[in-house]
């Protein structure tokens, strides 16, 4: 009996959802952008239940990705696709001087999908973590590089690193507005209040928006940087 009633309810429910979906898609129901699966991805929106879906869609499409960066005023100057035939090269990459709205220590070439992940960490975690743990905003993100035609861990053989496709960035430190500077080398295990906690908060946020996040906890090779990448496997260490 219960199963029969459930079956009877399924059809109207499915039809209702389809109808509501059609009204939203045709613009007859206007939802706030963050609740609207068809609205363009806006990285400034407070992450909600649709964010993961819209973020993944923007990350998977160069045009949507560049539009999302542009919408947030992030300068991303497209560079021509490159292929070397040795497992190196990139598509949908650009030159940018910022991580989101915060200046990088030097401009980089990065794929749009990696730049978008970096912008999400900056927009939704970096400032809050700095305020909470250090009481001053971050004015500069220091890095050790992005694109490099090389294997994982600089090994002579083995798999290509995500750096070989400009899908990775190595972050080594942060400059604060009050003149303080944090580095992974000096501050990952710092006893000074807030420094280690800030770096862990950044690592945890990176795990949310990048596919792979490797910190000094991972292995001795990462004592001086966070390795952040997209498009390969998944790890948060
Ligand atoms: Zn790296």
pLDDT at 5: 65
1 or 131: which leads in pLDDT: 131
> Does the pLDDT value for residue 113 go beyond 70?
yes
Distance in Å, CA 11 to ligand 1 centroid? 51
Q: What pLDDT, in 10s, does the model give residues 76-88?
A: 999 999 998 789 9
- Torsion on CA atoms 196, 218, 229, 43, rounded to nearest 10: -30
Whether pLDDT at 47 is above 70: yes
Task: Give the Å distance between the CA of 128 and the centre of ligand 1.
Answer: 25
User: Distance (Å, rounded) from C-alpha 221 to C-alpha 206?
Assistant: 19
Which residue did the predictor score with more confidence, 65 or 45? Answer: 65
- Separation of CA 25 and ligand 1 centre (Å): 41
CB 20 within 8 A of CB 29: yes
Q: Could you tell me the pLDDT band of residue 170, with boundaries at 50, 70 and 90?
A: very high
Domain boundaries, the chain: 1-30, 40-236
Q: Find the 219 Cα to ligand 1 centroid distance in Å.
A: 12
pLDDT beyond 70 at 6: no
Token readout for 155 is 């090994």
Distance between Cα 146 and ligand 1 center (Å): 7
Ligand 1 centroid to Cα of residue 203, in Å, is 14
Better pLDDT: 150 or 6: 150
Give me ligand 1 centre to Cα 213, in Å: 9
Predicted local distance difference test score (pLDDT) of residue 21: 67
Task: Give me ligand 1 centre to Cα 227, in Å.
Answer: 4
- The proportion of the chain whose per-residue pLDDT surpasses 70, expressed as a percent, equals 95
Q: 169 alpha carbon to ligand 1 midpoint, in Å? A: 6
What is the overall mean pLDDT for the chain? 92
Q: How far is the CA of 70 from the centre of ligand 1 (A)?
A: 26
Enclosing H/E stretch for 66: helix 62-71
Q: What is the mean pLDDT of residues 136-144?
A: 98
The fraction of the chain above a pLDDT of 90, given in percent, is 74
Instruction: Please report the pLDDT score of residue 183 as a whole number.
Output: 98
215 alpha carbon – ligand 1 mean position (Å): 10
pLDDT tens figures, 48-67: 889 999 999 999 999 999 99
- Give 9-31 pLDDT, tens digit per residue: 777 777 777 776 677 677 777 77
Phi and psi based region of residue 170 (left: phi greater than 0; alpha: psi -120 to 50; beta: remaining): beta
Q: What does the pLDDT read at residue 171?
A: 98
The CA 85 to ligand 1 mean position distance, Å, reads 21
How much is the average pLDDT of 187-205? 96
Residues contacting 152, CB < 8 A, separation 6+: 158, 159, 160, 161
In the prediction, which pLDDT does 4 show?
72
């Amino acid at each position: 009996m219960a199963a029969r009633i459930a079956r009877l309810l399924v059809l109207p429910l499915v039809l209702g959802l389809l109808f509501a979906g059609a009204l939203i898609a045709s613009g007859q129901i206007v939802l706030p952008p963050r609740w609207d699966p068809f609205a363009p991805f806006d990285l400034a929106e407070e992450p909600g239940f649709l964010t993961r879906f819209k973020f993944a869609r923007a990350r998977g499409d160069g045009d949507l990705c560049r539009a999302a960066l542009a919408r947030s005023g992030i300068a991303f100057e497209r560079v021509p696709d490159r292929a070397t035939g040795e497992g190196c090269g990139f598509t949908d990459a650009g030159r940018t001087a910022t991580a989101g709205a915060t200046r990088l220590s030097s401009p980089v070439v990065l794929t749009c999908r990696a730049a978008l992940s970096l912008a999400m960490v900056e927009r939704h975690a970096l400032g809050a973590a700095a305020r909470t743990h250090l009481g001053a905003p971050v004015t500069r993100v220091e890095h050790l590089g992005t694109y490099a035609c090389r294997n994982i861990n600089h090994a002579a053989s083995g798999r290509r690193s995500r750096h070989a496709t400009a899908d990775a960035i190595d972050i080594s430190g942060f400059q604060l507005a009050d003149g303080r500077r944090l580095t992974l080398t000096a501050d990952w295990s710092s006893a000074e209040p807030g420094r280690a906690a800030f770096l862990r908060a950044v690592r945890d946020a990176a795990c949310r928006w990048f596919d792979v996040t490797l910190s000094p906890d991972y292995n001795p090779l990462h004592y001086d940087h966070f390795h952040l990448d997209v498009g390969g496997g998944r790890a948060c260490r």
